[in-house]
Amino acid sequence: MAHSRHYLMCRPDHFAVEYAINPWMDPSKGADAATAVRQWERLKETYEELGHRVSLIDPIDGLPDMVFAANGALVVGGRVYGARFATAERAAEGPAYLRWFTENGFAPVMEPTVTNEGEGDFLVLDEVVLAGTGFRTEIAAHQEAQEFLGRPVVTLRLVDPCYYHLDTALFPIDGRNVAYYPGAFSPGSRDVLRRMFPDAVIAGPDDAAVLGLNAVSDGHNVIVNVEAADLSLELKRRGLNVIPVDLSELRKAGGGPKCCTLEIRP
C-alpha cells in the first residue's frame, strides 16, 4: 500500500566531482552544483507533491557527496543505525548524519563499529532487510544491523564496480517485491534473489547503466531516472505510477533519486 513517507535529504549546495571513489566519477570532467541543485529541488518537490514529508540536513562545505543522504544511516522502527563510510573522502559524513538524528530526538541512535554505508547497502522490506557487500559495506555490519534492529538481514554480494552499492542495482517496489539487475550480483546471490522474489522485475544492462534501479517507490508511485525506458514500461505494465526525474548531474557522481533519499521509518 502507498502511504505517506518521511525522507531526509541534503541540498547539493557543495556538490562537485573532485575525487573518484566509483567508476562514474571523473574529476577531470567535474560537475555543476547549480544544475545539481535545480534537479534535486525538482526531486524534493516531487516527494512533497505526493504528500511525503521531507526533512533537511544542512550540507557541509568540503563534503561534495553529502547530497547522497541514503548513505547517512539506516532507520527502521525509529531505531537509527549510523553509517561508517568506507572511504576517507566521505568519513566526516557519518558523524554529521548521526548528530542530525540525535539532535532531532531520535533514540536509540547507534554508532556502528564496522564499515557500512547506510541505505546505500541496506534496503528494507516488510519481513526482511536486504544488504549489499563487496565494495563498501562489510558483512559484519549486516550482522550488527540485524542484532540492533531485530530484523532478519540477507546478505547479497555485489560484483560489478559500477554497481558498488546495493541501491544502484535493486529497489523494493513494495514491502514484498523488488526490481533488480542480475548482472550486478554474484551467481549465489542471483539464486537467492530468484528464490526470494520469483515475481521480481528484472532489469537489463541499459536500464542499469542509467542508474534506473536507483529508484524510490512508495508502493504505488515509483520515482525513476527518466532515461530508464524499458524498466519504466515494465513498471507501468504492473500498474505502478512511474514518475520520471532527471538527475543527470548527480549521476556524474554515481548517484540517482534513491541515493539522494534517506527514508525515516517510524
Q: Rounded CA gap, 143 and 129, in Å? A: 11
Looking at residues 6 to 35 of the shown chain, list those that interact with ligand ARG (rule: CB under 6 A): 21-22, 25
Complex with ligand ARG: residue 25 or 241, whichever CB lies closer: 25
Q: Which part of the chain contacts ligand ARG (CB under 6 A), choosing from 106-114, 145-153, 235-243, 249-257? A: 249-257
The residues that bridge with 207 in the sheet, in sequence order, are none
- Interface residue with ligand ARG, options 9, 31, 43, 70 (CB under 6 A): 70
Examine residue 68 and tell whether it contacts ligand ARG (CB under 6 A). Answer: yes
Examine residue 259 and tell whether it contacts ligand ARG (CB under 6 A). Answer: yes
Q: Rounded CA gap, 200 and 234, in Å? A: 11
Taken in order 53, 58, 255, 176, the sign of the CA dihedral is negative
| Minimum gap (Å) between residue 239 Cβ and ligand ARG | 27
| Minimum gap (Å) between residue 256 Cβ and ligand ARG | 8
Name every residue whose Cβ is closer than 8 Å to that of residue 28 and which is 6 or more positions away in sequence: none
The residues that bridge with 169 in the sheet, in sequence order, are none
Amino acid at 57: I
CA distances from 128 to 157, 160, 186, 193, 250 (A): 16, 24, 20, 12, 29
Classify residue 189 as exposed, middle or buried by CB count within 10 Å of its CB (0-12, 13-18, 19+).
Answer: buried
Number of Cβ atoms within 10 Å of the Cβ of 229: 13
Examine residue 167 and tell whether it contacts ligand ARG (CB under 6 A). Answer: yes
CA distances from 183 to 72, 92, 168 (A): 26, 32, 12
Complex with ligand ARG: residue 8 or 191, whichever CB lies closer: 8
Nearest to 176 by CA among 212, 217, 215, 147: 217
Catalytic residue among 162, 165, 220, 260: 165
142 is catalytic: no
The binding track of 183-222 with respect to ligand ARG, each residue x by CB under 6 A or -, is ----------------------------------------
Q: Which part of the chain contacts ligand ARG (CB under 6 A), choosing from 27-35, 202-210, 235-243, 252-260? A: 252-260
Size of the site for ligand ARG (CB under 6 A): 16
Looking at residues 79 to 118 of the shown chain, list those that interact with ligand ARG (rule: CB under 6 A): 90
Examine residue 255 and tell whether it contacts ligand ARG (CB under 6 A). Answer: yes
- Interface residue with ligand ARG, options 7, 33, 65, 234 (CB under 6 A): 65
In the complex, the residues that contact ligand ARG under the rule CB under 6 A are: 21-22, 25, 65, 68, 70-71, 90, 120, 165, 167-168, 253-255, 259
